[in-house]
Amino acid sequence: MNKRHVFARRTATVTLVTAIASALAGAQTRIVPPDNSYTVAQDVEMGRRAAEEARRTFPLMRDDNVTSFVQDTGRRLASAIPPELRHPEFEYTFEVVNVKEINAFALPGGIVFVNRGTLEAVHDEGELAGVLAHEISHVALRHGTSQMSKAYVAKRGIDIFRTIFGRRDGDADSVAEALGGLGLNTLFLSFSREAETEADLVGARMLAERGYDPIEMSRFFDTLRRVETNRIPEFFSDHPDTGNRAQAVADARATLPVSPTPITVTDGFWSMKKAFRLMPAAHSMRERRVGPDR
């Protein structure tokens, strides 16, 4: 075969691959963020204040083998957020809560917390990436403040942002109620089934973009059920299952350019697992002491 034929064949192959990728992209479900009464800047500020509250409440892990790996993995995934959902004002950061429950949550503006129990439960890096991609998607879709828009307009008819940030006289009690009395869970941590499905679908795109197999997100659901067989996992309490989340992820996967050799584990993943083996067992949230671990 002469050089001209070789070049023609390579050109045809590239064209075919490009056409397939374009067709797959066109087949992907486009997720439109829900209505939201707040600005992106307000997301950032509310998330920052809620994170301060979380850091005072939860024991945070300081082990570099764990935190660096989670940060690196999360930031790599965040760089794959679909262009239409990117907000330059959001800075994605990832912190590990040193408790044994399996859970994770994201705050507006890009601050993600993941429990040590989650990191210990995952079988491979793809499962962890699925958890992080899901939480990042909640932030990118601005589900937290969208939920606040609906809840507080319906329940109280007030501008909660103005209340939280002290723009009314004598509102210290209102601030405490908004961030403390009602709790982080009411504000940002528990989403509707529709929001969970949206985060799954956007997360699947991010996983494929960064070399992971989106089906790992579904496999994590199976891991949860195996690990916590005697009760409903906390993760499902905060992330309600529509009953077909696994199938929705599988359907989305069929429209994505999934790598034939997806990432399963890396040296960083094994270093994290080794670090856990050398640590004392994590306490439950009920047993935790207030304040970060040093």
Contact assessment for residue 80 and residue 210, using Cβ atoms and an 8 Å cutoff: yes
Reference 43, options 90, 77, 88, 84; nearest CA is 90
Q: Which residues contact 249 (CB under 8 A, 6 or more apart)?
A: 200, 201, 204, 214, 215, 217, 218
Length of the chain, please? 294
In terms of pLDDT, which residue wins out, 71 or 168?
71
| Predicted pLDDT at 167 | 45
Domain ranges of the chain: 31-277
The share of the chain scoring above pLDDT 90, in percent, equals: 49
| Predicted pLDDT at 8 | 43
Reference 113, options 91, 130, 98, 129; nearest CA is 98
Average the pLDDT over each of 9-13, 58-62, 196-200, 270-274 and give the range with the smallest value: 9-13
Average the pLDDT over each of 49-53, 195-199, 224-228 and give the range with the smallest value: 224-228
> Is residue 252 very low, low, confident or very high in pLDDT (cuts 50, 70, 90)?
very high
State the amino acid at position 32 in one-letter form.
V
In terms of pLDDT, which residue wins out, 163 or 71?
71
Please write the tens of the pLDDT for every residue from 30-87. 788 988 988 999 999 989 988 988 898 889 999 999 999 999 999 999 999 999 999 9
> Is residue 3 very low, low, confident or very high in pLDDT (cuts 50, 70, 90)?
very low
Q: Cα angle vertex 216, ends 213, 217, to 5°? A: 115
Average pLDDT over the chain, rounded to an integer: 78
Per-residue tokens: 12: 């045809």
State the amino acid at position 97 in one-letter form.
V
Per-residue tokens: 89: 């004002």
| Predicted pLDDT at 192 | 81
